[in-house]
């Protein structure tokens, strides 16, 4: 890039000098920004590869990933489990990695685990097939969303099971099957409804009642305090942006400006939004809503610096039981989300 100063001849000598200086500064700024952007892209690509290597090294022989559950007040006494929630998120996130052979191998093995854990008529339980709790709409919706991303066909029977799991207002219940079965809550969860909305959009089915409810949740700031099972508002923001951007749920568009503005307004001075998990959720929210400015670059830089030596990110609770007495989390979930963020930034 070279300076074109031909336009300066129309101005006086003093003005020409000031304009020339301004153009020089602008070119220097452009060169610096371009250099930083190129360096950041290289670092993002390296961090993404390191994270994929971490997921490959920690994937279980079954194809699943280790998650943990614990009494919230006793985090040191956590128990290892396998759950479709974690596997679905990893498959979904790594589906944005294109033809990376390592990511493809992880996806295929994880998708195989999901397919084996599926029960008739196409549903999933949180703890897998041996779970005493009934199937749930959240794991079922995201199980099919993840499998669809890697080439599986969404089961009409599975869709019918989720579709029939709605209350009198047309909103999705979390728990499926016998309504008299003992579960920890029968309240409507907004994040679960966003994930169900994503599923049906991928199946070319619109759900205006659900969409109107979710837009109203944003209008009223009802999502700010979290949902029944997702205590962080960034879980809602990410699920919202994913349904809108990846699922093409256009009826959410009226609420997009508020989600974007709130996310930007709560970014901290270091570029994050708190923990690794909450920061990557907020980052993905902005990426999904089309943001690519300096705020995004600042967050990518902080996530790269927070990456642990083994390639993953820190362990923390991603969701809880309805009364918050039990917590659940996995490093694979946070790491998968970080891979998704790097992939979306680099490829779009």
DSSP run (H or E) holding 328: strand 326-329
Burial profile 285-304: b = 16 or more Cβ within 10 angstroms, e = fewer: bbbbbebeeeebbbbbbbbb
Q: 297-345, pLDDT tens digit by residue? A: 999 999 999 999 999 999 999 999 999 999 999 999 999 999 999 999 9
Q: CA 131 to CA 115: how far, in whole Å?
A: 16
- The band of 24, judged by pLDDT with boundaries at 50, 70 and 90, is very low
- 329: enclosing H helix or E strand: strand 326-329
Architecture of domain 54-347: Alpha/alpha barrel (1.50)
CA atoms 33, 39, 41, 47: torsion sign: negative
Domain coordinates in residue numbering, the chain:
54-347
- What confidence tens digit (pLDDT) does each residue in 231-254 have? 999 999 999 999 999 999 999 999
Q: What per-residue confidence (pLDDT) applies to 208?
A: 97
Which of 232, 229, 231, 253 is closest to 241 using CA atoms? 253
Rounded mean pLDDT of 22-26? 46
- Our measurement of the distance from residue 183's CA atom to the centroid of its chain's CA atoms, rounded to an integer in Å, reads 26
Note whether 183 and 192 are within 8 A (CB).
Answer: no
pLDDT above 70 as % of the chain = 89
Terminal Cα-to-Cα distance of the chain (whole angstroms): 24
Relative to beta strand 67-71, strand 326-329 is antiparallel
Average pLDDT of span 36-51: 92
Tell me: pLDDT of 17 over 80: no
Helix axes 276-288, 331-347, angle to 10 degrees: 30
Q: According to DSSP H, which parts of the chain are helical?
A: 13-58, 84-94, 101-117, 137-149, 156-163, 190-202, 208-219, 233-245, 256-265, 276-288, 294-306, 331-347
Categorize the per-residue pLDDT at 348 as very low, low, confident or very high, splitting at 50, 70 and 90. confident
How many other CB atoms are there within 10 angstroms of residue 123's CB atom?
Answer: 24
State the pLDDT at residue 10: 58
Predicted confidence at residue 103, as pLDDT, reads 98
pLDDT tens readout for residues 176-225:
999 899 999 999 999 999 999 999 999 999 999 999 999 999 999 999 99
pLDDT score recorded for residue 33: 42
pLDDT at 98 (0 to 100): 84
**In the Cβ-directed half-sphere of 52, how many Cα atoms lie within 13 Å?**
27
Reported as a single tens digit per residue, the pLDDT across 269-288 is: 999 999 999 999 999 999 99
| Per-chain mean pLDDT for the chain | 92
């Amino acid at each position: 890039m070279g300076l074109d100063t031909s336009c300066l001849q129309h101005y006086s000598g003093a003005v020409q000098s000031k304009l020339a200086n301004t153009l020089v500064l602008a070119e220097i700024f452009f060169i610096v920004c371009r250099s930083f952007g190129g360096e950041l892209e290289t670092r993002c690509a390296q961090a993404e590869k390191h994270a994929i290597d971490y997921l490959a090294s920690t994937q279980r022989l079954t194809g699943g990933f280790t998650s943990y559950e614990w009494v919230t007040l006793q985090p040191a006494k956590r128990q290892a489990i396998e759950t479709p929630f974690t596997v679905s998120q990893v498959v979904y996130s790594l589906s944005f990695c294109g033809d990376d052979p390592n990511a493809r191998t992880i996806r295929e093995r994880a998708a195989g685990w999901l397919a084996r854990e599926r029960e008739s008529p196409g549903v999933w339980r949180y703890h897998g097939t041996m779970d005493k709790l009934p199937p749930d709409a959240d794991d079922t919706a995201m199980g099919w969303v993840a499998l669809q991303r890697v080439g599986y066909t969404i089961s009409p029977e599975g869709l019918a099971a989720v579709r029939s799991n709605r209350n009198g207002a047309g909103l999705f219940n979390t728990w499926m099957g016998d309504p008299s079965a003992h579960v920890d809550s029968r309240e409507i969860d907004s994040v679960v409804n966003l994930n169900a909305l994503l599923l049906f959009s991928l199946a070319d089915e619109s759900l205006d009642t659900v969409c109107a409810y979710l837009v109203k949740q944003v209008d009223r700031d009802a999502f700010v305090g979290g949902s029944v099972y997702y205590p962080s508002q960034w879980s809602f923001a990410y699920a919202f942006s994913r349904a809108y951007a990846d699922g093409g749920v256009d009826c959410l568009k009226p609420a997009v400006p508020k989600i974007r503005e709130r996310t930007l307004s709560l970014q901290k001075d270091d570029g994050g939004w708190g923990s690794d998990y909450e920061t990557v959720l907020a980052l993905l929210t902005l990426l999904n809503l089309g943001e690519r400015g300096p705020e995004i670059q600042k967050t990518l830089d902080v996530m790269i610096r927070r990456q642990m030596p083994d390639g993953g990110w820190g362990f923390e609770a991603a969701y809880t039981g309805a009364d918050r007495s039990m917590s659940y989390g996995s490093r694979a979930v946070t790491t998968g989300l970080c891979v998704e963020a790097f992939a979306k930034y680099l490829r779009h």
